[in-house]
Each structure stands twice: as structure tokens, then as C-alpha cells.
Amino acid sequence: MIKDLWYKNAIIYSVNVESFLDSNGDGVGDFEGLSRSLDYLQGMGITCLWLAPFQKSPRRDHGYDISDYYQVDPCFGTLGDFVDFTHEAHQRGIRVMMDLAINHTSDQHPWFQEARRDPSSKYRDYYVWSETKPEDAHKGVIFPGVQETTWTRDPVARQYYFHRFYPFQPDLNIDNPLVLAEIRKIMGFYLELGVSGFRMDAVPFVIEGKSPQARSPMNWQLLRDFRQFLQWRSRDAIILAEANVEPKHSVRYFGEDGDRLQMMFNFWVNQHVFLAMATGEVKPLVKALEQTRERPPNAQWAQFLRNHDELDLGRLSERQRQAVFDAMAPDPDMQLYERGIRRRLAPMLHGDQRRLRMAYSLMFALPGTPVLRYGDELGMGDRLDLPERDSGRTPMQWSNEKNAGFSRADKLVRPIVDEGPYGYEQVNVADQRRDPESLLNWTARMIRIRKEVPEIGWGNFDVLDVGHPGVLALRYRWLNNSVVVVHNLTDEAVEIGLRLPGERDRTLVNLLTRDHSQADRRGLHPLIMEPYGYHWYRAGGLGYLLDRTAV
């Protein structure tokens, strides 16, 4: 086993340059601002940043509509600022990953402009065209309610072009070797600038057959090609796939021999975590964990709660989805695209600190590598008066000063949350930094513990039977060590009996409080779980570093 696969136990933080810190007072966050925030991120224990797209873009989809892959959008600074930032991050032991949005470009990209004007241009075939509107054009839209079709007529080309997402995002024709060469060039460019890998946007759509005729098969080989190229150019860079797929398909993204993409977001578990929190029953979550258990040894799940998009519940049954809506987003305006929730985590959990901490503790305890969303470490809220997914993309709340300390400008890229219990006067870094009991300091503490429990990233888990439908107990074992994490998803205190098969005599030492437990005569550890309680234990005691075998 190669023990230095860094992504197995990273702490990833998702951030948009746009909304983090505005150093030059133009109302938009920038790389200089992000650089100045690095001590904050390092202090929290973050080891890897994932940057949302920052390249030149009309920004009609949060930068996921790129018009020049080789330039930083001027509102964020220059390529020089980007390299400076990456360097400063590395100085603090923080890796930088970036979004790789190559399923489509912006319709303003010179490739598309050239393609539509000139049928004989080499760029024409960079995109996917059809003389007539395919019959299934209304199917498979990604943003129902906002997007009507996947084929739109371009008046200049006098043909229809394919766009899986918004009409201003024409899909690239991946079957064209020239397009593949462009993608490799983009990856190669940023690897030279020091990134540790890419969060690859919309992977299932990148590799699907896109011709207007009958569907061609998925091009799995491409994933292997990307991987090989990446590792040839940069030995420890990785790809983290955005692929919201059924569990039975996930191994195909990792590759049976682990020869495709190293990481995938676990959307399946994510949706079942919210279902479990909404219903107070862990059974469906246990099943989801079992269903995503299999993965090649070098592959890893990314576990998350909220991200920059809506919370997509599209893989739950209608009844299950409704249960989550009822509990966390009852108002239709909180819902989006007929499948999701556009709120931040804290308001979804009614600002209940016990629940928030339990939710995060659970995320840190799930098999894989945790990914936090900026601002969630403070319990930031949302602005439902902003359109679609912008509700959860408001500026970072640094202090109770003007514009939450985000910017000196009068007009901001997006308004601050300035009212109610999540307003910046109540929720901000400066206050929480000074409060030992704050969510921010709690998060930093949990990150520290998570880092000291590499068993979660590397080990195998088993679900321990606790005899209560609302309590989840997971045990991880790795290198002769064993860790048990227990979560009570209900609002009631419960008493459980925990049995550790094969480790009957081992003491359980609590990592968060000063207590420990010895099994009784029947081999049971009697535990009292507070409402929304979370307990982290080491089996065997604190000499674990001495007990750990070398291989």
C-alpha cells in the first residue's frame, strides 16, 4: 500500500474567489484577498482548497461558462496573482485544486464564435450540430423550470447546437481529437502553475455520446486517458469527479483496477444523509453506505453536506424527497429544479447548534474525505431573494463591520446576508474566533480530530448494531487500530448498547470528552447518547500510535 496518497485524508474546502475577500475595493472578491485569507484557512486545518471556476467568463453561470481557459477573469486579478496565491497556499501546506469545466464553453468563447460563423473552420467540429431539431430536444434538461431544451438554433450557423446545460453553454464535441488535445493542454497549463488536481465538472455528460442520432455509448476510455495524462505530467495530481450517479455505476468512474478517476463526490450518500436527518432513521443511510462500499483501494469518496449548487435530491424516491422538503424546505421558494433545495445548511437545520454539529461530525465520520463549503464553519445563512442557486453564494462574513468585512465597495457582486439570525452582525469570523464555544472553533477542533483518525480515510468500516433506529455506529479498522463513531440523529436522549465484535475486551476511550467505557459481562458498552449526540472513540486506548502496525 502506498501510504502517501494525500487525498485519502485531506480536508477540502470549497470556495469561490468571487465571494471570499475583496482586496481592491471593487466589490468582487479576488486572488489577493484569497491569499490574505490563507492564515485563517490554515488555522482551521484545511489542507486543500477547491476553487470554483475563475477563468475569463461572462459569468452567467457562476463562471461555469468559460470564454478563455488561459486567463484569470480580470475581476479576480491576473495569472500572476493566481500563481502568487498558489505559492502562498503551498507555503502553508495547503494544496490547490480547481474546477475543470470542459463539458461546454461559453457561447462567447472564440471557438464557438468562429464555429458558428464559418462552417469550414476547424472549430465548427469543436461543437455538436444538427440540421434539424432532434425529437428528444426537450428531454434531459438539467435545469427544469428554467431551461426548456438541449438543442437551440443558432441564427448565424443556421443549425441547432447541443447544450446539456443552459443555452449559453454549448457542449464541446469530445469525439473530436482536437477537442481532447485542447483539454489536455488546459490541464497541462494549470499543472505547470502548481495545482494538485481538478474537480471535473459534469463528468457523466463529458463522456456521454452527444450525436443528434441514436445515443452512442459512454466513452469510458476517456477517463483513463485523462488520468494517465495527469499522472504523467504531475505525479500526485488527482481528479475529483462530479458525477451524481447510481452506486452501481460508480466503480466505472473509479475504474475496476483504480485506473480511472481517483475521487468522486458521494452524491448517493449525501442525499441519504439528509433523508436520515429529516426522518431520524438511519436505515436508508446504512444501505447507501453499503451500496457505495466497494471501491478500488486507491480510490476515494468525497463526502459533503452542502455545495455551491442546490442540494440535489433527485435520486431519492418521491416520498423520501418530500420528507426532506417537509422537514427542511417546506416553502416552494426554498426548492429548485423540481428536485432540490437552495438553502444553506444552517437554516435547513433551523440554526440548531446541536444538529449542525452532529451533521458535521457525521460528515467527518463518513467513509471518505470531507469537503466543507465556505461559510458553513460559521453557520452562515442564505438569501432566498436571490435567483436560483445564488441564494447560497453570498459573501463571506468576516466581521460586523461594513459589508461584513468582505469589501470596502458600496456595491457588491452579491448582497450580504444582513438581516435576521444569520445576518453578519450575528454570524461572523471575528466574533466566533474569540468565542471558544463557537461553531468555528468547534469545526477547527473536529478537523484536528479527523486528521488524527486516518482510519476513516484508509480503513474498512462496519456498521455496529446498536438496537436503535435513530443511531448510527460505524467502526473503522486500519493497521491494528480501531475507531468507533456514534451519532444520534434524533432529538431524544437514548440509551444504547454497543458491541464490538472481535474486540470485546478493549476499552473505548472518548476522543472528545474525558470518559471511557469498559464492556459489561455481556460484552456490551452501555452508552447514553444526548439528543443529536456524537461520540468518537478509540478502541484500546490512547497508546494507539504505539499499537499501530507499520504496514
Residue with cell 459512454: 218
Alpha carbons 362 and 358: distance in angstroms, whole number: 6
Q: Which is nearer to ligand GLC, 226 or 478 (CB)?
A: 226
Q: Is 17 in the site for ligand GLC (CB under 6 A)?
A: no
H helix or E strand, kind and range, residue 535: strand 534-539
Stretch binding ligand GLC (CB under 6 A), from 58-66, 181-189, 253-261, 331-339 = 58-66
User: By CB under 6 A, is residue 22 in contact with ligand GLC?
Assistant: no
Q: How far is the CB of 39 from ligand GLC (least distance, A)?
A: 28
CA separation for the pair 106, 481 (Å, rounded)? 50
Is 374 among the residues that bind ligand GLC (CB under 6 A)? Answer: no
Q: Which stretch binds ligand GLC (CB under 6 A): 38-46, 60-68, 86-94, 343-351?
A: 60-68
171 belongs to the binding site for ligand GLC (CB under 6 A): no
Is 309 one of the binding residues for ligand GLC (CB under 6 A)?
yes
Residues 1 and 551 sit within 8 Å (Cβ to Cβ): yes
Nearer to ligand GLC, 62 or 321 (CB): 62
Q: How far is the C-alpha of 539 from the C-alpha of 514, rounded, in Å?
A: 14
Q: Given the DSSP bridges, would you call strands 48-51 and 12-15 parallel, antiparallel or unpaired?
A: parallel
DSSP secondary structure, 308-340, as one string = SS-EE-TTS-HHHHHHHHHHH--SGGGEETTTE
CB of 99 to ligand GLC, least distance (A): 8
Q: Does 376 bind ligand GLC (CB under 6 A)?
A: no
**Using CB under 6 A, which of 61, 171, 208, 377 touches ligand GLC?**
61
The single residue among 30, 73, 171, 201 that binds ligand GLC, judged by CB under 6 A, is 201
> How far apart are the C-alpha atoms of 496 and 489, rounded to whole Å?
13
Positions in 228-267 near ligand GLC (CB under 6 A): 242
Q: Which residues are catalytic?
A: 201, 242
Q: Which part of the chain contacts ligand GLC (CB under 6 A), choosing from 16-24, 56-64, 252-260, 488-496?
A: 56-64
Binding mask 452-471 for ligand GLC (x = CB under 6 A): --------------------
Size of the site for ligand GLC (CB under 6 A): 10
Cβ nearer to ligand GLC, comparing 187 with 356: 187
3-state secondary structure 214-278: CCCCCCCHHHHHHHHHHHHHCCCCEEEECCCCCHHHHHHHHCCCCCCCCEEECHHHHHHHHHHHH
- Does position 202 bind ligand GLC by CB under 6 A? yes
Give the CB-nearest residue to ligand GLC: 64
Residue 35 or 244 with smaller CB distance to ligand GLC? 244
Interface residues for ligand GLC in 62-81 (CB under 6 A)?
62, 64
Query: Alpha-carbon distance 454 to 113, whole Å?
Result: 49
Which residues lie closer than 8 Å to 124 by C-beta, 6 or more apart?
A: 115, 118
Contact partners, residue 505, CB within 8 Å, separation at least 6: 519
3-state secondary structure 53-64: CCEECCCCCCCC
| Nearest CA-CA partner of 284 in 273, 299, 298, 295 | 273
List residues binding ligand GLC (CB under 6 A): 61-62, 64, 101, 165, 201-202, 242, 308-309
